[in-house]
Structure 1
């Protein structure tokens, strides 16, 4: 099974730590990051898609993807 997540956050070190934590847990980068201005918060925002191959499980919408 292949899982997909989209990590998002402000353009600061907390976003880099979020991506680094996912990579350390076996997730892989998928595509290029995205970057845009959020007028509501007045901040630049980042997004990065990640994927992970997991064996022996069946997908369910109830899965907590961050715990896989």
Structure 2
């Protein structure tokens, strides 16, 4: 993952595992502008919980968000 110029002035980018469900829940993981990129997601999990699956090769969509919109971060 990389936060390039196409992400403008986003403070964070929220990456999703699946399209939003009918309940509105969508497991996610975020990357902050300060981090810039993550080279390996094999040890990162959506919602920071293995039950939601690995973020490695599983991202279906992303959006720019503010810092209060993320509850799980890539480390």
TM-score w.r.t. the length of structure 1 is: 0.28
* Larger strand fraction of residues: 1
TM-score w.r.t. the length of structure 2 is: 0.27
* Larger helix fraction of residues: 1
Bigger CA radius of gyration: 1
